[in-house]
């Protein structure tokens, strides 16, 4: 969102951690600790606002200070009613979780999409005026799940559109087998972590192992498990630049992590709980880092347009700054 705003200097841009005005959330937040394990609160809000403050950006949590001509969302699974009169654009923020039987039931019954407990229906509500997807593959995914095809533009997404830049880095280790974990247990999903670690050890087959833990994980618990089930000398990181770590690895093992797309873009052999061939079809386009500018182009045009969304989509011509075809490595 910050990168997109940098291409809209003529507008007064404000930022908020994702929020909801659902009454059930207020109850959960007040009486249980469950909310702190979600992107709505806890360390996620704290870290986001730390970033915003460090970069001198305007914060309007829950959009209480101003009214807005345009709201740019990274999720259409929880959308505040207080912003219903604003123009809206959805921007894909990363990997969308695997579509499951529960996803299908929620969709079929017309239930709130957040009841899936994951992001499998993110982008599929058709609730925003315009959608910006990471790739043609993801455009097909969200339109298959319910969003109108005419309102989806393949723009690429910032942070995953120029992975070659990570090859020039100062991370001190190279040629290891990297393991990027996920926060399944912290978000109340089932996981056999010891079995996953042993699988990673088998794949490494004597090579140096490096674990990069998800920022939401309980570090002490995860570290103790790795020390118990992985060889001595295994490297463990809870912070640091994950993209640099991926760039320097020989092979990448993931669970449900978007960093698998960085590995694919850089030609790494990857492992994932997702089907790797499907990931290759979904992989974000590599357009030399122009996704933010592409999205800002749409934002600017839609803000300035005086008619409604239907009229805008009929006359707007999207001219991407640089959209390249997927590398042959994805074939």
Q: Is residue 50 part of a domain?
A: yes
Token readout for 45 is 């809000």
Asked if the model's pLDDT at residue 44 lies above 90, the reply is no
Average pLDDT over residues 170-181: 97
Domain shared by 144 and 171, yes or no = no
Q: Is residue 320 part of a domain?
A: yes
- Say yes or no: 181 and 300 in one domain: no
234 inside domain: yes
In a domain, 185, yes or no: yes
Q: Total structural domains in the chain?
A: 2
Average pLDDT over residues 74-80: 92
Q: What is the mean pLDDT of the chain?
A: 92
For the cut 50, the answer to whether the pLDDT of residue 241 exceeds it is yes
Q: Which of 253, 275, 297 is the last residue of a domain?
A: 275
Domain closes at, from 236, 251, 275: 275
Residue 220 reports pLDDT greater than 50? yes
20 & 156 share domain:
yes
What gap in Å lies between CA 232 and CA 6, rounded to an integer? 45
Mean pLDDT of 133-139: 97
Same domain, 130 and 183: no
Do 120 and 150 share a domain, yes or no?
yes
The conformation of residue 71, written as its DSSP 8-state character, comes to: E
| Distance from C-alpha of 210 to C-alpha of 206, rounded to nearest angstrom | 12
Same structural domain, 138 and 225: no
- CATH code assigned at 146: 3.40.50
The residues, any chain, with a CB within 8 Å of residue 291's CB and separated by 6 or more, are: 155, 156, 157, 158, 161
Q: Same domain for 189 and 235? A: yes
The domain of 326 spans 2-161+285-330
Residue 240 has pLDDT above 70, yes or no: yes
Residue 82 pLDDT more than 50? Answer: yes
Residue 256: pLDDT band with limits 50, 70, 90: confident
Residue 40 confidence (pLDDT): 81
User: Would 200 be classed as within a structural domain?
Assistant: yes
| Range of weakest confidence among 109-123, 143-157, 165-179 | 109-123
Given a contact cutoff of 8 angstroms between Cβ atoms, the answer to whether 145 and 107 are in contact is yes
Residues 6, 122 within the same domain: yes
> How much is the pLDDT for 216?
82
Same domain flag for 145 and 18: yes
Same domain, 260 and 200: yes
pLDDT at site 328: 38
pLDDT at residue number 322 = 56
Cβ contact 216:183 at 8 Å: yes
Reply yes or no on whether the pLDDT at 4 is more than 50: yes
Tell me what pLDDT residue 318 has.
92
Question: Does residue 329 register a pLDDT over 70?
Answer: no
In a domain, 300, yes or no: yes
Domain for residue 280, yes or no?
no
Supply the pLDDT for residue 283: 96
Tell whether 68 and 38 lie within a shared domain.
yes
Q: Residues 299-303: contacts with CB within 8 Å, 24+ apart?
A: 299/4, 299/8, 299/70, 299/72, 299/89, 300/8, 302/70, 302/87, 302/89, 302/129, 302/130, 303/11, 303/69, 303/70, 303/87
Considering the domain architecture, whether residues 120 and 196 belong to the same structural domain is answered as no
Looking at residue 186, what is its pLDDT? 76
pTM: 0.87
Q: Which residue has the tokens 């043609």?
A: 136
The per-residue pLDDT for 326 is 42
CATH code of residue 171: 3.40.50.2000
The answer to whether residue 210 sits within a structural domain is yes
Average pLDDT over residues 204-218: 93
Is residue 230 predicted with pLDDT exceeding 60?
A: yes
Residue ending a domain, among 232, 247, 275, is 275
Tell me the C-alpha distance between 194 and 65, whole Å: 48
């Amino acid at each position: 969102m910050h990168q997109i705003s940098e291409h809209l200097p003529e507008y007064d841009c404000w930022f908020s951690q994702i929020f909801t005005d659902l009454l059930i959330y207020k109850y959960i937040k007040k009486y249980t600790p469950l909310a702190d394990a979600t992107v709505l609160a806890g360390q996620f809000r704290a870290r986001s606002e730390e970033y915003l403050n460090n970069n001198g950006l305007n914060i309007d949590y829950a959009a209480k200070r101003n009214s807005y001509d345009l709201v740019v969302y990274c999720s259409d699974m929880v959308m505040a009613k207080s912003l219903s009169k604003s123009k809206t654009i959805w921007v894909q923020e990363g990997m969308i979780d695997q579509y499951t039987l529960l996803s299908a039931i929620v969709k079929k019954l017309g239930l709130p999409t957040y009841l899936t407990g994951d992001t499998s229906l993110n982008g599929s509500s058709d609730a925003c005026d315009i959608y910006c997807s990471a790739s043609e593959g993801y455009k097909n995914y969200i339109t298959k799940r319910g969003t109108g095809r005419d309102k989806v533009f393949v723009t690429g997404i910032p942070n995953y559109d120029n992975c070659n830049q990570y090859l020039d880095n100062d991370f001190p280790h190279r040629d290891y087998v990297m393991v990027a974990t996920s926060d399944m247990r912290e978000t109340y999903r089932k996981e056999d972590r010891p079995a996953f670690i042993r699988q990673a050890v088998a794949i490494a087959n004597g090579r140096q192992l490096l674990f990069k833990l998800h920022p939401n994980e309980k570090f002490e618990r995860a570290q103790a498990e790795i020390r118990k089930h992985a060889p001595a000398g295994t490297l463990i990181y809870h912070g640091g630049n994950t993209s640099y770590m991926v760039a320097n690895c020989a092979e990448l093992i993931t669970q449900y992590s978007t960093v698998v797309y960085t590995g694919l873009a850089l030609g790494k052999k990857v492992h994932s709980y997702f089907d790797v061939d499907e990931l290759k079809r979904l992989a974000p386009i590599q357009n030399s880092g122009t996704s933010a500018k592409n999205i800002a182009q749409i934002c600017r045009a839609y803000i300035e347009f005086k008619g409604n969304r239907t009229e805008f989509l009929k006359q707007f011509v999207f001219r991407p700054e640089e959209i390249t075809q997927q590398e042959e490595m994805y074939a």
